Amino acid sequence: MNGAADLGGMMGFGPVIGEPENEYFHADWERRALALNLAVGAAGRWSIDASRHARESLPPREYLSSSYYEIWIKALERLLVDAGLVGADELELRRSLRPGVPVSRVLSAGDVPAVLAAGSPAVRPVDVPARFAVGERVRTRNMHPTGHTRLPRYARGKGGVVERIHGAHVFPDTSAHNAGEHPQWLYSVRFDARELWGNDSDPGLTVSIDAWESYLEPTPS
């Protein structure tokens, strides 16, 4: 979707301010926000793609005026209500009004390091060969879906070169909406900055984007 989260190439938001590599949190509540997201996400009631969509679909004014972990908490509240784990009235009153809903998995503190180390692999088998090859020129589709997509707005309708094939992965555009995994081949495509942002861009700059096969079209010869 073309939401407030898709900021690549947009102007007027000021410079990107770097932070020390070892500075992960600015307050204790941010640590708890991350822990809460991990703990509830481990219950398996939604996918990582659904959680991304919940964050990016916050109203633009709310998204742009919220800090990083405020966005995570606001999206988590929406996910909890949609999954039936928490009632909107409970969130408003900030207390439980009914018995909790059982979940299939509970993440204990002692299991966290192993779970994080294992990750959640999205590689899946497919029975069709990759459509594109390394070194082949492709063009991204000019698409503007109302739902979730991982193709940035600034890279749509642009020409690039396939530089790597990652294998077949869960398709986020359907996974985010509980419409199935529908795995597709995933490619890394390299774009010249001038192709993305015009001739005023740095002529020596390239940008690589991971793109699912249905995002791509062959470049006419």
Q: Read off the pLDDT of residues 32-65 as tens digits, 9 standing for 90 and up.
A: 999 999 999 999 999 999 999 999 999 999 999 9
The pLDDT score that the predictor gives to residue 15 is 86
Find the CATH number of the domain harbouring 61: 1.10.472.20
Structural domain including 149 reads 137-218
Does one domain contain both 83 and 151?
Answer: no
Does one domain contain both 144 and 183?
Answer: yes
**1 is written with which tokens?**
């979707």
The pLDDT score that the predictor gives to residue 10 is 87
Does one domain contain both 32 and 111?
Answer: yes
3 located within any domain = no
Which portions of the chain are predicted below pLDDT 50?
A: none
What pTM does this model have?
0.92
- Beta strands per DSSP E along the chain: 137-140, 159-169, 184-192, 206-212, 216-218
Find the CATH number of the domain harbouring 183: 2.30.30.50
Does one domain contain both 47 and 102?
Answer: yes
Q: What is the largest CA-CA distance in the chain?
A: 64
The pairing of strands 206-212 and 184-192 is antiparallel
Please, which residues have CB within 8 angstroms of residue 154's CB and are 6 or more apart in sequence?
A: 6, 8, 9, 196, 197
The pLDDT score that the predictor gives to residue 221 is 65
C-alpha atoms less than 13 angstroms from C-alpha of 149 in its C-beta half-sphere: 24
Q: Read off the pLDDT of residues 17-33 as tens digits, 9 standing for 90 and up.
A: 888 989 999 999 999 99
The pLDDT score that the predictor gives to residue 113 is 92
Last residue of a domain, one of 63, 84, 118: 118
97 located within any domain = yes
176 located within any domain = yes
Number of domains in the chain: 2
